[in-house]
Structure 1
Amino acid sequence: MNKLQLKLLLLFSFLMHQVYAQVERNPDPYIENPDMIGENKMDPRAAFFPFTTQEDALKNKYEASSNYFSLNGTWKFKLLENGINIPKGFSKSDFSHDKWDTIKVPANWEVEGFDIPIYNNDYYPFADVRERAKGFTEMDKPNPPFVPVQKNPVGLYFRTFDVNDDFLSQNVVLHIGAIKSAAFIYINGQKVGYTQGSKTPSEFDITSYLKKGENTIGFQVYRWSDASYIECQDFWRFSGIERDVFLIAQNPVHLQDFGAITTLKNDYKDGVLDLSIKVENTSNQVEEATISYQLFDNKTVTSNANVILQKSQKIEIPAHGHQEVKYNEFVEDVKSWNAENPQLYTLLITVEKDGKVLQTTAERIGFRSAEVKNGQFLINGQAIIVKGVNLHEHNAYTGHVVDEDIMRTDLELMKKLNINAIRTSHYPQPRRFYELCAEYGMYVVDEANVESHGMGYSLEKGKSISNNPSFEKSIVDRTRRMYERDKNYPCIVTWSLGNESGNGYNFYQSYLYLKSVTDIPVQYERAGLEWNTDIYCPMYGDHKFIEDYAKKYTDRPLIQCEYEHYMGNSGGGLKEYMDLYEKYDNLQGGFIWDWVDQGLYTKDADGNAFFAYGADFGPENVPSDGAFLANGIVDSDRKLKPSSFEVKKNYQNIKFKALDVAKGEFEIKNWFDFTDLSGYSIYPFIKADGKYLKRLPTIKLKTAPHQVEKILLNYGTLPQNKECFIHFEVRNDNGSHFVPSNYTIALDQFEIPNDIQLQNVNIEKLASISLDEGDNKIQIKNKNFSFVFDKNERTFTSYSFKGTEFIQDKSGLTPSFYRGLTCNDMGAYAFQKAKDWNVATHEFSIENITTEKIKDNVVQMNITYHLPNVETKFVMEYTVFGDGSLKVKSTLKGMEEKEKLPELIRVGLRMNLKKEFDNMSFFGRGPEDNYADRNSANNVDLFTKKVSDQEIPYIRPQEFGNHTDVRWIALQNNKGVGLLAYSSDQYQLSTSAINYTDESLDAGDASYNYPKNLRHDQRHPYQIEKLDGVQWHIDHLQEGVGGVNSWWSRAMDQYMLDPTQDYSYEFMLVPFKKLKSNQLFEKSKMRYSNNIN
């Protein structure tokens, strides 16, 4: 090399050094190295605990064992802005922690008041590229594997603990159930290791680090690391220690791992147990031991009399080595496990030496098969419909820390709602969850903790992590750790490679790994129809999309990994989805998104409690996707919503079909997969005008799964002039610890044709009325009522009966074409698409008004309104009768056809009544609020409620309280004075009565995921101003709430309104005093003739 070349080389080296020196990097390279997924971590293993007695093992209570030492509780805690200046020796006993805070373990430090809770859907909070996050993030775009240097909080944890001599004489393992996102582990000031992978356990052998007496433990936890790039899930981006931390003591000769893999054979009647047992010896010498197993039957484990399989053998384990034994066992006529009848056996494994138990453990296992065969997904040879839900790990009070009580609450509610499957979106759940799913009977799709949504799906270099070779090791390791821990749980019937990360080489390898170790089907949504998914599992396919698939493809079943986005007032179209699942063999259900609203219990400065969502914490520019985390079938504190019952109804396993209602001919189909109907009683009964008429004989059937049986009912004599319905209630005869006996698992209702004789009011006998028409006001009255129409107010401003005023704030009936936008409305930009109809709702004007006294006791008013922006007419006809009744007919003239038509949300009328009219009764669909596309769970019946009890506190306020198919509705005060509204033509009403206005429930022009644009007083229920009265909607139609998704889809076409169509309807308003429900029924059958001579 000559001098010139040397100089150039040195100059180049210097310049490159200068370039890289200017790029600030994290002081610890581990957190930006995808290959460094752990240091000194033990190999993954099945979830089990080493007990010292078989009695303790069979109880399987970890905390009761002398080999268990909990490190949960109060720790010292220090949150740093970043990892640049980590205090040296912070984990040592001589370091002063006096000025440190304290924190609970397990806990998310953001929930405990340290740092900002951030909610993002598909962006990286540390590199959010959206304009509204500018200034918050250090990085201007994602750049894997790099993470912020200055804005990367680090949580330091410290505590002391004492272990007894028995512990110190054994091998000691530190078990960390979950820690996020990356952590260094220290014992007595010495670095033990490093871990990533925040939703599976990390275990470290700390035997050599412990000392007699007091010991110290410290964690150095980073909020962001390269692992964050594949943990971009749609939930709160929390940090810290999320699951239990404890020590395990075990003999040097101990059970290292076991696999109890079960399946079925011989026409799925007999069981096969593939049992592998691995024993480890950490001592310095060869050891001999006896390994044995016993399999107890599915009854109670009391004695050897219950043992159906057992074997033992002596083995020799080399020093610092292991020995594995394998058994392939056959169980004849096995009691198979399924979600309907979760039969479990108990497997007891024991390691002994010289007759002394060194270690023993027990696991409840089930015999079942899961496979894709002939284009269908089969459980135990039976094609099933997955009636599933997605489940995030969430507690409104503790964040991602979920205890067993919450798990049991969830599973019990799910069983009661007829849910049979859970997808662990988007990461493995805690160990106890799977044990409970096996016990309760719940199919599980176990999903690897892999999502890189924020990087997109492009296969171009530097884009999707699915094709980034740097992350192959990490992705496959996460899949492996999920499988190894959960392999023995019978509830797992499908493995999932992850979520929304694109498809590519890394997921091909992950798929191949799973297929090498398990016969259970493997799925991955982003694989589409590629080879590395056994099930086609799209998300949010609409009804046409999945039906097209059913007709075109037969090689793989379609099971939607996500569908029916349950955000806010949603759940529309679920019935139509189930109709398709039941129609086509290769459409086998899906998982509703999702189970629980992810609100966080919070109080504002004034002590007002509410459930917070994205951007409720931190500065204005905190990265956030607002309320997009509130998509639950249940709300944040596990209370049922009105839409919850739609799930129960459409997921029910016993369904009724009317063959000929008039003759009492019905068909009952058993949609259970493994259960006949012998354990259920069907109770038919008839109601007439909302009151019990008679109970018919109880029906007992033995209908086999998926079979149909016809029944014939004898109604007997039905009363004349009453609307009659036959109801079916199905109850279980024998309860379980999660569903009590006599619990109603299915409902249905059919109207029985019956002659209804309508009565004409004798107009001649009505009292005369006076008409006084001035320039601005028109008054129609007699001694019993008064009706005043004000042209300036564009409606009637007073309506009184026997001295009682109905109208609040001069707000009589006015046209209404809008609503307080739902989350689905906002996601589809209805605030833009329907804006013109919102303007028309508020800025309509009187174009023409005529008044005519056509009889001494009848006045006719015709009003034509001009609707601005939509440039059409709304015509109202009032006929005022001498008894104070109003006949109201309204007609919306259709718009002219044009290229872009505004969305019409409702066709109706509203008015405000005084607050005293709080007593509501109606004959229509209830008791829960319901909408055109979400009303199958609500029967037509008579309901009595308080208006003030109608409120549904959605986490983000929006439209609520509607009832469909309403024949009549009455609002009255405590003195019995009220108004009755009923349809006077062939149409039924859509109606609501609430203590809020549509305007108070509307978020203006804020899209669903831009919460900072919401009106400041409209983010949470407690902020909404209540109306000092009752807003009463008496509508013709309201479009459905939708449910396919919450970002562009609307309700199904049949539940949408056509703005070019004429819509006309008619109803009566009848004032009354002290009428009982039967009298209101009779009133609703009275007709005021249109032909008045």
Structure 2
Amino acid sequence: MKRNILKIILIFAMSISFAEAQDLPHQKPEIVTVNTETPRSSFYIQTKDEVKSGVSSINSQHVLDLNGEWKFQFYNSEVDIPSNFNSPHFNFSAWGNITVPSNWEMEGHGIPIYKNVGFAFKGNGQMPDPAYNPSAIYHKEITPNTSWDGKDIYLRFEGVAGGVYVYVNGKEVGYSEGSKTAAEFNVTEYLNVGETNQLTLKVVKYTSGSYLEDQDFWRLAGIERDVYLWAAQPSHIKDLNIISSLKNKYKDGDLNIEITLSKPNSSKLKWELLENGKIIKSKTIAQVNKTILKVNETIKSVKKWSAETSNLYDLVIYNGEEAVKTKVGFRTVEIKDHTLQVNGQYLLVKGVNLHDHHMTRGHTVTREDYLEDFAIMKAHNINAIRCSHYPKPSFFYELCDSLGFYVVDEANIEAHGFGNDSQYYHPDTTKSLGYLPLWEKQHMERTIRMYERDKNHPSVIIWSLGNENGNGQNFYKTYDWLKENDKTRPVQSESANHFTNTDISAPMYNIAQSGLDYVRDFDKEPRFQRPYIQCEYAHAMGNSVGDLKEYWDIYRAHKILQGGFIWDWVDQGILTKNEKGEEFFAYGGDLRASRYPNDENFCANGLVNADRKIKPSLLEVKKVYQNINFTLSENKLMVNNEYSFLATTNYTLKYQLKENGRVVDEKKMKLPRIQPMSEKSVTLQQFAIDNEEEQFLYVAVYNEKNELVGEEEFLIQEKKYVSQLSDAKADVEMLNNEVILKSNTTQWIFSKTSGYMVAWMKEGKNILQRPFKPTFWRAPLDNDLGFQIYDTLGVWKKANDFQKLLSFEVNSSSGKITALFDVGVAKVNMIYQMDDQGLLRITMDLFDITTNNHIPRVGINYAIDEKFNQVEFYGKGPHENYWDRKTSAMMGIYQLNVSDFDFEYIRPQENGARADVRYVKFTNGHSIYGEQPFLFTTHHSVLGDYQDGPKKGQRHSTDIIKRPLTDITIDHLQMGVGGDYSWGAWPIPKYLIKPQDYSFSIELK
């Protein structure tokens, strides 16, 4: 009874606590901010002399950088925070420190949780329970310079994950949530200039707004972006709205500037437009006690901005002794003739989705991180970035402006856990936040804050209302607001794909064929006449991104299909160590989070690893996305220039004749000038064709910087297969349970009981570690597990693992051994024939198939001694490639170590294959020749090391065992890796293996 009374008291106390917490701003959906400034565009105020002398804005005397060490205390529950933490007399001296910006989970406080769909707290529509809301107190002493006396002083947060309460010298200043856009507070009356001031922050991880931050990423908290104070004279430039478009047939710049002052004054403002430091336009603006001043000027023959020609001008506005300097890019974005156009020119969107992620810092990314990403993107023909699923730090847009990327800026709104209008399940309109008036302000403020901060960046060509939501009235209102306030950009919404509040059809994970359906339905209704640009496609999870070429063959054939954004750029792996001290990348369920709901390795969908190591799939993207493409007819090469703005001026064409994988002749020529979005035919000098040898023509184009911008390969002459098996047969020796095929140097020993080869004797030593066996199964890819491969194709795993010998026949006169196996759903003949030189021909016949299930692979697997650790092969390479992902790999002769075939996907799976292989030569004398091209894989590990059971285990690269053997698989066929999406999509039909008879042969020596 006593225990029950205590329980009742405890529940009552908790309910009081929760009830009291409802009065706090972070528990109220209708409250997003308290006492914050009106959102504005990103710029810094400096002195006039600083701007003229080139002092960086962050080093201005008007700015006090607050990044660095802060006093810090973490609490598992917000109710544990001491009530007097904001007292100016509170003693913080015993507290530890944390670096700002950072996520506190990455600094050892709390547990990082990864979710794709759903909430990391009890997301039943109730507000997060304070008793289970991780929170923290930050504290820093700050001393504004005495030169700030009499100025207005502002505290700016570029991004705080969670809700932040601000206190200065014990007084509450205000509150903000909405983690991915800036919040600014006027702290003039709270600070004592020239003295030490106490700045204290309370950050709660979960707020009412967390329901709108249900993105596919790690759920992390803390001050994750820059924090600083800035000061300016009482009448300072408060905001800038710059519209720098084109007119007069896109030749001249149309510069419109709206300057908002904090207070009217009578002094004159002056503005200058500079190109490479030279003033090209300058004027003075006379004030008549206004707070809004407008400029409209024509800039003749302006240099235009695009992702290919990222021309920028400097705009400087002087306001007395203060100045603002910002970049201006002149460009026009339109939807014209049912297509998205920039500067009047059609373009193809060759994009990726980008999360903010660093392998040790979580969501805290730096300018240097972006520069690394952007350099890799540029090198791989990526021209567009979708800000999935929230605005990025301000310097992201500055870099996109200067380097040249088209950006879809996306509002920090995703309530996926409540449903999604345009995908497989629809929201309950009584619960989904997009439909509820109570949540209108949350939607509006997040949209407006994005727009106001980023409106002046030329790289932003499209606004996005958010991601994976119910498309209720709140989204119609955000759409209407953007269209009313910005006449210069289209607005898209994935959730509005079939509705009126989007200017672009932006579906996700439509298969390539859906594009043809869209074209077919063009005349049916207006929604089929919008530009079709997939906001997400080609899900790059694990070993993936198959059939990308098939997408782009369709996109290139129909102008209304303008490309899309691959999901996504970087694996969201977190670098950690196991108990042995070995490093690996953690994913959902790791890092003490196994007891929490999580979505495992679904956070690892990148074209690059978390450490930015390039995946083989990115090389395929580079090839498919390339802007110079080719077709060949006899000696006429048609060169297509897919750039929107760049002509092939001073480009060089190089072409080579490859014979059996080796370059035997090479020529080059200056490429004629080909205008953007056009093509020209080039006549190539003819090479001598040898009808006996295999020949390929390789063509490549280099720009004026000698960068490869396009390549292709054409088969000129196919070589006919000729068996190397001689008529002189090997000796056959019959023993009780074994049969031996003998030559002078080699013996192949077979078991009559198992039907397998059990030994390969070379110079008196057995080099065979595992017998030659028919193989039908691969270590399941993430895509395979998505379509439930153990259920759908599991009969072939049994065929791989359980093989029953039916008969074993030896023909002594021909030196031929035939082993017939029952593999459950089919029969297999393994036929061996050896000549007197030790060459062994193996033929595998698959027949009498009794299932309609497709086959994962048809091949032969075996293992030899680990000393065979170096490989030469003639085939597609040098990087990993598969049946449906090999257009980027060129035919050649490549030398690699066996370890080079390993690619460490974050979750172990099939990897390392090379397609269209003609021969393989190992060190120490082992060679493999195909009767036809084959797929080749080799590792110092075996199939079982890479595979999970029907359900994923929490496995990592450190779980792969390096064994004292060299495992080899020769595949006649292996189904494609797939890549449309990873939760049910199969490889497309042309890359599936039909259940029918197959026969192939290889020759070994």
- Please report the TM-score for the alignment, with normalisation by the length of structure 2: 0.95
2:646 and 2:835 mapped to 1: Cα distance?
60
Q: Which amino acid aligns with 1:1040?
A: G
Find the counterpart in structure 2 of residue 1051 from structure 1.
Answer: 987
Query: How big is the shift at 1:803?
Result: 3.6
Asked if structure 1 preserves the Cα contact closer than 8 Å seen for 2:689 and 2:717, the reply is no
Q: Secondary structure at the match of 2:266?
A: strand
Decide which of 130, 143, 162 is 1:162's aligned counterpart: 143
Residues 573 and 603, structure 2, Cα contact 8 Å, conserved in 1? yes
Residue equivalent to 2:84:
89
Letter in 2 for 1:950: F
1:849 aligns with 2:812: no
Which residue number corresponds to residue 799 of structure 1?
760
Match of 1:5 in 2: none
User: Aligned partners of 1:98 and 1:313: how far apart in 2?
Assistant: 52
Partner of residue 470, structure 1: 438
Identity %: 35
Structure 2 portions without partners, runs of 5+: 1-11, 421-425, 523-527
Query: 1:526 aligns to what?
Result: 495
1:440 aligns with 2:414: no
Task: State which of 988, 998, 1001 in structure 2 corresponds to 1:1063.
Answer: 998
Question: What is the one-letter code of the residue matched to 2:984?
Answer: W
Deviations 1:582-611 (A, max 9, x none): 000100000000000110111123311111
Choose the corresponding residue for 1:966, options 895, 903, 917.
917
The one of 947, 969, 973 aligned to 2:898 = 947
- Map of 1:713 onto structure 2: 684
Counterpart of 1:772 in structure 2 is 734
Matched, 1:930 2:911: no
1:1026 Cα deviation (Å)?
Answer: 1.7
For 1:18 and 1:633, locate their aligned partners in 2 and report how far apart those are by CA, in whole Å: 50
Instruction: Say whether 1:992 aligns with 2:937.
Output: yes
Distance 1:906 1:760, change over 3 A: closer
Matches within 5 A, 1:445-844: 445-457=408-420, 458=426, 460-519=428-487, 520-553=489-522, 555-660=529-634, 664-719=635-690, 721-733=692-704, 741-753=705-717, 756=719, 763-764=726-727, 766=728, 768-774=730-736, 776-808=737-769, 811-844=770-803
2:730–2:834 Cα contact (<8 Å) kept = no
The change in CA–CA distance for 1:459 and 1:924 in structure 2 (over 3 A counts) is: closer
| 1:381 counterpart residue number | 344
Asked whether the 8 Å contact 2:934–2:970 carries over to 1, the reply is yes
The amino acid that maps onto 1:769 is D
Structure 1 residue aligned with 2:265: 287
The one-letter code sitting in structure 2 at the alignment partner of 1:988 is P
Q: What is the aligned residue count?
A: 982
Alignment RMSD: 1.9
When structure 1 is superposed on structure 2, of 884-893 and 400-409 the one drifting more is: 884-893
The equivalent of 2:227 in structure 1 is 245
Q: Is the 8 A contact 2:153 2:231 kept in 1?
A: yes
Q: What is the aligned counterpart of 1:216 among 182, 194, 198?
A: 198
Structure-2 separation of matches of 1:386 and 1:123: 30
Is residue 981 of structure 1 aligned with residue 937 of structure 2? no
Counterpart in the other structure of 1:296: 274
**Is the 1:51–1:57 Cα contact (8 Å) retained in structure 2?**
no
Contact 1:54 1:361 (C-alpha < 8 Å) held by counterparts: no
Secondary structure of the corresponding residue to residue 79 of structure 2: coil
CA–CA distance in 1 between the matches of 2:136 and 2:655? Answer: 61
1:442-482 deviations in Å (ceiling 9; x for gaps): 00000000000011134544321110111111111111110
DSSP-derived class of the 1:698 partner:
strand
Measured at CA, do residues 569 and 58 of structure 1 come closer, stay the same or move farther in structure 2, by a change above 3 Å? farther
Contact 1:990–1:1035 (CA under 8 A) maintained in structure 2: yes
> Do the aligned partners of residues 679 and 804 (structure 1) sit closer, same or farther apart at CA in structure 2, a change above 3 Å counting?
farther
1:150 is paired with a residue whose SS is: helix
Q: Which moved more, 1:385-394 or 1:826-835?
A: 826-835
Deviations 1:857-885 (A, max 9, x none): xx1111111012x2x21111111221111
1:562, 1:593 within 8 Å by CA — same for their partners in 2? yes
| Cα distance in 1 for residues equivalent to 2:248 and 2:767 | 74
Report Cα offsets for 1:487-513 as digits up to 9, x if no partner: 110001100000001201000000000
CA distance in 2, matches of 1:942, 1:605: 41
Q: Shift of residue 745 of structure 1? A: 2.2
What letter corresponds to residue 770 of structure 1 in structure 2? Answer: V
CA-to-partner distance for each residue in 1:515-567, whole Å, 9 max, x for gaps?
A: 00112000000101211000000000001112111221252110000000000
Alpha-carbon offset, residue 913 of structure 1: 1.0
Counterparts of 1:286-435 in structure 2, within 5 Å, are 287-297=265-275, 300-301=276-277, 306-317=278-289, 323-352=291-320, 357=321, 359-435=322-398
SS at match of 2:206: coil
Of stretches 703-712 and 583-592 in structure 1, the one that deviates more from structure 2 is 703-712
Structure-1 separation of matches of 2:198 and 2:623:
55
1:618 is displaced (CA, Å) by 1.8
Q: CA deviation at 1:579?
A: 0.8
Query: Which runs of 5 or more structure 1 residues have no equivalent in the other structure?
Result: 1-16, 128-140, 734-740, 1008-1013, 1072-1093
CA distance in 2, matches of 1:789, 1:658: 50
The residue type equivalent to 1:668 in the other structure is V
TM-score, normalising length: structure 1:
0.88
Contact 1:25 / 1:149 at 8 angstroms: preserved in 2? no
1:179 aligns with 2:152: no
Q: Secondary structure at the match of 1:372?
A: strand
Match of 2:970 among 1026, 1031, 1034: 1034
Q: Tell me the CA shift for residue 893 of structure 1.
A: 1.6
In structure 2, what is the equivalent of residue 35 of structure 1? 30
Contact between 1:256 and 1:279, CA under 8 Å: does it hold in 2? yes
Q: d(CA) in 1 for partners of 2:389 and 2:722? A: 61
Task: Give the residue type in structure 2 aligned to 1:1049.
Answer: A
Q: CA deviation at 1:791?
A: 3.6
* 8 Å Cα contact 1:801-1:884 kept in structure 2: no
| Structure 1 stretch displaced more, 548-557 or 181-190 | 548-557
CA distance in 1, matches of 2:254, 2:575: 48
- How far 1:922 sits from its partner (Å)? 0.7
CA contact (8 A) 1:278 1:325 kept: yes
Q: Following TM superposition, by how much is the alpha carbon of 1:720 offset from its aligned partner in structure 2, in angstroms? A: 5.9
Q: Which deviations, in whole Å up to 9, do the C-alpha atoms of 1:175-211 show, x marking residues without a partner? A: 1110011110011111010001100111001111111
Change (3 A) 1:498 1:27: closer
Change (3 A) 1:57 1:26: farther
Give the secondary structure class of the aligned counterpart of 2:592: coil
Kept in 2: contact 1:200–1:482 (CA 8 A): yes
SS of corresponding position for 1:213? coil
1:89, distance to aligned residue in structure 2 (A): 3.1
Q: Residues of 1 paired with 2:531 and 2:55: CA distance? A: 38
1:234 maps to 2:216:
yes
